[in-house]
Structure 1
Amino acid sequence: MVLPSAHHPACRQLIQRGFMRPPLLPFLFSSLASLLLSAAAGAHAADTAELVVKGTIRPSACLASFPGNSVIDFGTIKSEPLLKERFKDLPSQRVDMRISCDGPTKIAVKAVDNREATREKDIPGIDAGDNFGLGLYRGKSIGGYAVRVATAVADGQSVGILGRPNGSAAWSSNALRGLRQDGSQISFGTGNTPVAFSELITGLDISAKLSRVAYQLLADDIQLDGSISIEMLYL
C-alpha cells in the first residue's frame, strides 16, 4: 500500500487548516501502516483448519468361565462315626475352565481362597500351599481340598503347564500343576515360556479330604462350603 506524502494537495489543505502538523505526519503514517499490517496478518491467520487425530489403545480382554458348571457337588456323604483315619478321601471331580480373549494374549492365573479362615493346615497328601478351606462345623475345620491343573489346550494345541512362586519373574515347568493359596501363579506355554492364545480350555481336578471331626461330631447336616476366586494377570 502507498501512503500519500505531505505534499499531496489533500494533505496540504489539512495542514493549512491546522488539522495536521508536519511533525505528526511520520508518526501518523507509521501507526497507520502498523494497523494495516496487523489487520493483514490477522486475516491471514484466520485461514486455517484443524485436523484432530484421536483413538484409544486398549489391551485385549480375557474372560474366564466354566462351560459346564462352576459348582462342584459331592452330593450326600454318609457319616462314619467310627472312622479311625484323621481324614477321609472324597472321589476326585473334574471341571473344565475356558479362558476367552479378544486376541492372542499371554496370561497367568492364580487362586484366592475365599474360605481361608476355615482351612485345615495339616492334611496328609495335600501340600499346605495347595490346601483350600471347606468350611467349619461347630467351629472346627471340616477339611480341605486341592485343585490341580490337569490339561490345557490353547487354540486347539496342547500346551504345557508353567508355574512360578509369588514374587518371582521366572517360569518353570510345574510338575505339581496345582493352584495354590499362597499367591503362586500358573501359566500355559512351551518349555519355560508362556504363549499367547485367544482361547484356552483347561481341565481342573478337585480332590477333597474330610476331617474325622466332621464325622464324629455329626448331629445334623454339614454343608461343604469351599470357594475360590480365579484371578487372571496379563503378562
Structure 2
Amino acid sequence: MTKIFGLAMGVVCLAVTLSAQATTSAQLVVRGTITPAACNLSLVGSGIIDYGTIRAGELSQTAFNPREERTTSLAVNCGTTPAKFGLTFTDLQSGSKVPGVLGAGFSEAQNFGLGAVGTRRTGGYSVTLKDLRSSGVTLYPIMRTSTGAWQGSDGKVAQSPRQYSWRNTATITPASISQLTGVIAVKAVINKSRDLDLSRDISLDGRATLVLSYI
C-alpha cells in the first residue's frame, strides 16, 4: 500500500509542476503592411508616335534621313502622397540599331532602333524629356547609372541602366512629388535608302518600355 501511495503522489506533483511552467510565458505578435505610394504612369494615345506614310523618293541614298520631331504627353499621378520616383527606358529593338544615325550630340546609348527587314536596319530615334512640371512648378531632369550618384541632364534619354528623375531645387537630388506632367519628344532618323529594301513596304517599328520605380 505504501508503494502504491508513493507512486500516486509522485504523479500528482509532476502534473502540478508542468501546469505552472505552461502559463508563465505567452507570445505577442504585431502585424501590418507598409506599402509605397501608388503611382500611375500613363502616356497620351498609348504612347504611339505615328510618322504616317513616307515616300521612298523623299529619302537620300547617301545620307541619313532625319524626320520632324513628334511628341506624346507623359503623366504620373501618386494621389495625395508625395514620392521620389524615376524612369528607365529599355529599347526592345536594340538589335536593329544603326550606329551613328542620330548624328552629332547623341551617344549610342541614346540611339533606339527602328526595327529591320531581314538584315537591313531601318534607322533609329532619340527620346528627350521636356517641359517637366509638378503642380505648375518647373522640374529639371537628372540622371544616374544604376545606383550611382545623380547628375544633371539635358533631358536626352539613354537606355537602361540609366535612370531619370527630376529636381525642383539647385540640389541635384530627386524631388518628392505627387504629380508629374511632361512631354516625351521623339525624333526618328531613317537609314540611307541604298541600305533599305525599297521593293516592299517598310514599317518603322521602334518599341521601348518605360518602367517607373521608387527611389
Q: How does the TM-score come out when normalised to structure 1?
A: 0.75
Match of 1:171?
Answer: 150
Supply the RMSD in Å over aligned alpha carbons.
3.1
Instruction: Trace 1:135-174 onto structure 2 (pairs within 5 A).
Output: 135-164=115-144, 166-167=145-146, 169-174=148-153
Cα displacement (A) at 1:146: 0.2
Query: Relative contact order, CA 8 A, sep 6+: which one is greater?
Result: 2
Q: Which residue of 1 aligns with 2:92?
A: 114
Give the secondary structure class of the aligned counterpart of 2:44.
coil
Distance (whole Å) between structure 2 residues aligned to residue 113 and residue 201 of structure 1: 22
Shift of 1:31: 6.4
1:67 to 35, 44, 50: 44
Determine the structure 2 residue equivalent to 1:99.
76
Larger Rg: 1
Q: What are the ranges of 5 or more consecutive residues in structure 2 without an aligned counterpart?
A: none
Q: 145-154 or 62-71, which moves further after superposition?
A: 62-71
Larger CA deviation: 31-40 vs 199-208:
31-40
Corresponding position: 1:195 with 2:194: no
Change (3 A) 1:138 1:53: closer
- Provide structure 1 residue ranges, at least 5 long, that are not aligned to the other structure: 1-18
Change in 2 beyond 3 A, CA 1:36/1:89: same
How far the C-alpha of 1:138 sits from its partner, in A, is: 4.4
Deviation at 1:158, TM superposition (A): 1.9
Q: CA deviation at 1:42?
A: 2.3
Letter of the 1:74 partner, please give it. Y
On the 8 A contact 1:110/1:232 being kept in 2, the answer is yes
Q: Kindly tell me the number of residue pairs found equivalent between the two proteins.
A: 210
